[in-house]
Structure 1
Amino acid sequence: MDELPSLPTDDNKLTIMDVPFANQTDYRAALNAVVSAMYSGFRPAKKDIAFLAKNSGRQVAPKDVLAWVKENYPDLFK
């Protein structure tokens, strides 16, 4: 199995890739989700982490997630 790339985190500052999270619960949930996805080949960009931080702890409509993905990753839709 390939080794996972490093993911810069700071448990004291509650940051992932220097993106701050509002609280420990949101930070841990995002960290667990990102690391789990990395095992399947996902390589997060800082903008992905920022999206998680901005939307942690609230429901996001699927259409809003899709709009964000289309805006940030247009090559996926060619």
Structure 2
Amino acid sequence: MNALIFAAACAVGVIVYRSTKNQQTAAGTTARGDLAVALAAAAAAVLMLAFLFGVGDGSSTGAELPSSTAPAASSAPPPR
């Protein structure tokens, strides 16, 4: 799943890079794409997809399995 998210982010980055290249060519300036915007778009895509699909390392740090034994209840007062 992580590889698919990374591949999708790379595709977004390439699309944005080519899009900025085409816009600059139409304006009559040099034909280089905006690398910073492409990297920012790729990073945003990684974050968005990671939060959307809940990507993690596979560990369940916050969840604990319930124990099968109940805590011992005592009717005696605690010792002083």
Band the TM-score falls in, shorter-chain normalisation: 0.3 to 0.5
Q: Greater RCO between the two (CA within 8 Å, min separation 6)?
A: 2
Larger Rg: 2
Point out the structure with the larger strand share.
Answer: 1
Higher helix share: 2
TM-score (norm 1): 0.35
